[in-house]
Structure 1
């Protein structure tokens, strides 16, 4: 008996800058009986980096997981590429969005290159430019030099960059990144956010969860500030990052300045003046 041939998922067409690739409307999500998101509306467009910021427990990672179709909505709707997420098959979703979770763990001794190559799995039955995609992703994240090392032998920061390379190799037009800079040093934090900007410039939509407001101010085209499961503000960083709003949301006195050279917002906690030191 001949089994029916599997239907190939149709890859998405290249988005036009400004196209809405992901959105939520009236989104409510409950976890363990608790309402984590309460009527959230957000939109991610091709050609921009959208940063999700806010204090711990605000719902940032939950919102990212809902956009990825990894968490169901209790109410409201999540759309990817104009269609409710439930209308896409798993194979179709994998061609349209790539997800970087907070933690990257593997139980088997895969090499770095093998891990990055896993990002090509959604394209197995469509096109075969795997080597170019893997090589470009590894170069962008600066992991080529240890391509043959076991993933488990890497430092936390190196693993984070390899995990991002896997996501980039997937070449989906929507990137959903959960705290991609958390384990990274200063140089590689800047590297990762530059890569996000480059992907947006190339036409992708990038949604990134960040705790560092300075990075969000420097690299995001738009920020959504979450507080207690709601969007407190959504707009350009200079519009959202104000002394009063950040002080209220974070419950910590904050000062916002304009960088004298770039004009970007510089955010710092308001601290008491340290006592002066006297040398005897």
Structure 2
């Protein structure tokens, strides 16, 4: 059977291009949601997608994941169009964390995380399932409610379990849509540290964020979007500048240096 004999993909080397786009566009219902998007995602880096509400961040992430076919342009994943992958093969290459996770049945939290191991069933890596699941739940501090129904968890607990499922999938590309939205301060920092650790281990992480200071602290590069089009793409210090952010977000901001780390702190101007 193809499912059981498919080849396990090689791990990329740091710096390898995993995903790229050129003049990417998406039109739905006669409305242009994405226009002229160009980006490159490389192993070993965290790329933050930033922009105001309606900028196209989540839509772009869905296109990068292969869930939405672009109207123009293409999204080669490791040199092949996403449409050329068998679904099980695609699940070995990239893992997607959506904004919300809904389940039709009351699965236990631990069972939800184990779902992330489905792509590796019938392969030599299936023997690692329990160890990988345990590491993922420990990394997200969700092991203590492994035996609780997913539907009985708080929003923040569900978010951490869902992230653990993505980590357990063990793919070289992680696509995370607002992973910190439902989390308290401690776990916002934890999630971004996990993203950095995955990048340090050689994975590529693309993350949609609203907190600009979090992006500045943990991302290597930033793609700033407005009205579905790229405004700026580059290192954090080059993109997160007060005049540009003030214009894109329609509100004056100031950019300060963190007193200890030196990373940018983006604050709204008040009063």
**TM-score bracket for this pair, using the shorter chain length:** over 0.9
Which residue number in structure 2 is paired with residue 167 of structure 1? 166
Measure the CA separation in 1 of the matches of 2:265 and 2:211. Answer: 11
Measure the CA separation in 1 of the matches of 2:110 and 2:44. Answer: 28
1:9 aligns to 2:9 (yes or no): no
Cα offset for 1:22? 1.2
SS at match of 2:89: helix
- For residue 57 of structure 2, the aligned residue among 60, 63, 69 is 60
User: Gaps (5+ residues) in structure 2?
Assistant: none
Which residue number in structure 2 is paired with residue 83 of structure 1? 80
TM-score under structure 2 normalisation? 0.97
1:26 aligns to 2:23 (yes or no): yes
> CA separation of 1:137/1:6 partners in 2, compared to 1, >3 Å: closer, same or farther?
closer
Which residue number in structure 2 is paired with residue 206 of structure 1? 205
Q: Alpha-carbon deviations, 1:144-173, whole Å to 9, x = none?
A: 111100001100000000000000000000
Cα offset for 1:17? 0.6
Write the mapping of 1:1-280 to structure 2, written as runs, cut at 5 A.
6=3, 8-126=5-123, 127-128=125-126, 129-272=128-271
> CA separation of 1:125/1:214 partners in 2, compared to 1, >3 Å: closer, same or farther?
same
- Greater helix proportion: 2
C-alpha contact 2:172 2:203 (8 A) present in aligned 1 = yes
Moved more, 152-161 or 228-237: 228-237
Measure the CA separation in 2 of the matches of 1:164 and 1:182. Answer: 12
Cα offset for 1:260? 1.9
Measure the CA separation in 1 of the matches of 2:21 and 2:214. Answer: 24
TM-score under structure 1 normalisation? 0.94
Over aligned residues, Cα RMSD in angstroms?
1.0
Measure the CA separation in 2 of the matches of 1:6 and 1:92. Answer: 9
Measure the CA separation in 1 of the matches of 2:56 and 2:151. Answer: 30
Q: Which of the two has higher C-alpha Rg?
A: 1
Q: Alpha-carbon deviations, 1:98-117, whole Å to 9, x = none?
A: 00000011110110110000
